[in-house]
Structure 1
């Protein structure tokens, strides 16, 4: 009488993980971004190390074809890959020539980024309607799969009676 040596592990809600493709790559990119930011905050003269971290982060994203969040893209210089920290590696000004906008200029390469500062302005990726629409689509597909499973169960129950 041999007992089954396999133990069943209980899965709780706190330990349950959702499947995210390339989870390790996103964690690595997050770490590199945070390391670059901490490097600049603690030692503003160490711009080259922060630039190396950001370059490595972008290389990982390009190699694995991953999208970097727009809020993170806004804080990185496209030209020299330095982290744009106001007062340390960048200057920030509000201008109102055509329309009010925020001008961020990199102190290393003098590249300029402009962001619209219109009241109520949102990026396309930050709009709530987009998120609500995606959630509705996900719930509809989940409902359709559960309904098809329930209808097959009810027909099999009726046939067995």
Structure 2
């Protein structure tokens, strides 16, 4: 529980530092050093506590000098063509000269936004309580071992379903017997 609270506080701190860097540059565009300090502090917090930053935040921070990349203020933004189809957005930091190329593909989705990347809460039998586990996607059977495992899993599922059905039938029989006994007692 403490770890969850610490991460929440860290996210709040990082968010505050990111907003402060934006405000500093909005008020005085020449005050790049203070904004860079805020972004560097944000980066060190995420590194120390092993917290992932959102990709939209990471794209606006220079990897080399940790300054905030705002088009026209601290960075230049250009559109480039590689082929007829592929287009890139190239951001170049005005402080250090580092450039970033980002693909302009409207169909592209980040890994974090894909459904298979999402985590769900599943109870784990460990002593620590509930743990996060990744959703498992069924894999197509290719080798003999995989096919055997899949058949074994199917057989076990069928057995479990049969047991559940038998238990339901047994419960229904017991409830019917109890009802009949109550009726006999009333008569």
TM-score w.r.t. the length of structure 2 is: 0.59
The aligned residue for residue 23 of structure 1 is: 8
Q: CA deviation at 1:123?
A: 1.4
Pairing partner for 1:110 from 89, 97, 107: 97
Q: CA deviation at 1:21?
A: 5.0
- Mapped to 2, the partners of 1:103 and 1:126 lie a distance apart of 23
The aligned residue for residue 75 of structure 1 is: 60
- Mapped to 2, the partners of 1:117 and 1:82 lie a distance apart of 23
The aligned residue for residue 130 of structure 1 is: 116
Pairing partner for 1:95 from 80, 88, 95: 80
Q: CA deviation at 1:119?
A: 2.7
Kindly report structure 1 stretches of 4+ aligned residues shifted beyond 2 Å.
none
Unaligned runs of 5+ in 1: 1-18, 143-154
User: Considering only aligned residues, what root-mean-square deviation do their CA atoms show, in Å?
Assistant: 2.4
Larger Rg: 2
Q: CA deviation at 1:120?
A: 1.1
SS of 1:22's equivalent? helix
Which structure has more RCO (C-alpha within 8 Å, separation ≥ 6)? 1
Pairing partner for 2:28 from 43, 53, 71: 43
Unaligned runs of 5+ in 2: 124-170, 179-187
- Mapped to 2, the partners of 1:111 and 1:27 lie a distance apart of 28
The aligned residue for residue 47 of structure 2 is: 62
Structure ranking higher in strand proportion: 2
- Mapped to 2, the partners of 1:67 and 1:81 lie a distance apart of 16
1:113-158 Cα distance to aligned partner (Å, 9 max, x none): 011102311211123x236x64xx44xx48xxxxxxxxxxxx9xx8
- Mapped to 2, the partners of 1:51 and 1:27 lie a distance apart of 18
1:56-111 Cα distance to aligned partner (Å, 9 max, x none): 11111111111111110000000000000010000111101242111011011110
Aligned length: 122
